[in-house]
Amino acid sequence: MFPTSQGIPGLPDLTHPQTLMRLGSQVLSSFLTLTMLALALGLVVALLSLALHRTEPEQAIFTGEWAVRYSALLRAFQHGFLVLILLISGFFLCSTLGNRYHNWEQARVAQVAATVAGDRMEQTAPQVRYLIQEPYTYTVQIDNRLVQREEKREVPRFLALEGSEIQVTIDQAQNLQDRRNNYRIDFAADYRVRNSLAKAQDLFFEVAPPSGYSLLQNLRVEREGTRLQLANPGNYSFPMRLEPGAETSFRVTYQAQGAPRWVYNAGGQLLSNFRLTANANFPNADFASGIAPNGINSRGQGKAFTWVFQDNVSVSNPFGVFTATGPILNTGVLPRLLLLAPAVFLWWLLLLYLSLPLPLRNVAIAAGVFFACLLALTYLSRVVDAKLAWAGLSLVLLSLAWGLGARNRSASLAAVVCTLAGAVLPVLGLLVPYTGLTLSLAGLLSAVWLAVRNWYGLELGERIKLV
């Protein structure tokens, strides 16, 4: 089982009720504090003005100047308060979108991994066992004396297989419960056994069923065309006696269903005259464990993998077939962009303030357009490439920025240049691999524009106004 994907640690997510409650309480307390401070300062100025209303003209002028400065300060702070509110709101929006997109990316990775994850079906090579009598010595205590005794015991020894010819057909079937692409295996193997000892020997041909299967059926073991019966259920050990140099053959067949990976394990044996052909009747099949096959042939939508080992080859890792998946690239790009989006917005807004008149209404509308484009980018990038989606959204953003000029062509041109240098290029730079180069170009364009605008007297026909 894969763990549930979690959001980016430490970032607020407005889709969580506890985050909303905590944010609401903090905003309410901060708003009440600011309101009380503004009212207290206004009350102090009003009381001073009233108390000194009929006093000397100098004091009256001094009080009037403070009242005027306080009023001007409040008007100047309107833009600061609005920008601060927009930044805070944009940060919470972007952090929420970043968490949502991060969760979606992790769920997509887990879904792809689940199609090939899980146990593997592993077929171990059979063994040819025989027993020998081997002396051993042990010590016992008799009448307070240590006495050594020597006896004989049976010790297993193994012979290498003379030859292996294995044919495996693999079909893929999706499990509707866990969405994994499970395998259906049709296994057929011919093994040759030769008594390479100098005398006749009682041998045991031992074969194990595959591990990791969910269904195993029609397991048959034949010797020279004759089916062998199990002496004990689950004990696939078949006795035989061979003369020196004599050979015999065994055939093992079965059908199985199980995990989305099939491998063959040599079990530490030396492989001689070995040939394994795995026919994978599905796309995206590839060889497992890094043991490259001697040949790969295309068969319709599938592939045929062939491993051939002629003489005394030791293979330590199991080798076989699994279903390869396409790489999941560019993860984490959108969450990084969304976390840096408030800084990009602040830079764009600074360029606009230094280039053309911006009333409060236009600042709020520009912020809404910018974050709306980011919201659209977040969800459009799930179905199309993020760079292509931003290219289309950039045209919308640039066309809307033209309206900031208020029917003044030079001011509209300034708004477009500021939007290109302060919003379009920085966001694009956070989407493409060459982030540093793109951001450097955006910064250079911004600096050149401000220099031309302010040092070379490029007038817009109207001075910048705050309100």
Write out pLDDT tens, residues 310-330: 888 888 888 888 887 766 667
- Sequence spans of domains, the chain: 17-114+330-455, 121-323
Which one is predicted more confidently, 179 or 98? 98
DSSP helix/strand/coil, 205: strand
Average pLDDT over residues 94-106: 84
Confidence of residue 39 (pLDDT cuts 50, 70, 90): confident
- CA 185/CA 281 separation, integer angstroms: 11
Please tell me which residue, 307 or 102, carries the higher pLDDT value. Answer: 307
The answer, yes or no, to whether residue 434 has pLDDT greater than 60, is yes
- Is 317 or 22 the better-scoring residue by pLDDT? 317
Q: What is the pLDDT of residue 462?
A: 42
Which of 79-93, 155-169, 206-220, 339-353 is least confident? 79-93
DSSP per-residue letters across 238-299: EEEEE-TT-EEEEEEEEEEEESSEEEEE-TTPEE-SEEEEEEE-STTEEEETT---SEEEEE
pLDDT at 125 (0 to 100): 92
Q: Where does 121-323 sit in CATH, by number?
A: 2.60.40
pTM over 0.75: no
Cβ(316)–Cβ(399) below 8 Å = no
Q: Is the pLDDT of residue 67 over 70?
A: no
Backbone angles phi, psi at 367, to 5 degrees: -65, -45
Give the pLDDT score at 454: 79
Q: How confident is the model at residue 372 (pLDDT cuts 50, 70, 90)?
A: very high
| Mean per-residue pLDDT, 219-227 | 90
Mean pLDDT, residues 283-312 taken together? 85
What's the one-letter identity of residue 341?
A
> Which is it for strands 274-280 and 163-174: parallel, antiparallel or unpaired?
parallel
Above pLDDT 70, what percent of the chain? 78
Residue 21 has pLDDT above 60, yes or no: no
Beta carbons of 254 and 169 less than 8 angstroms apart: no
Please give the pLDDT value at position 424.
Answer: 93
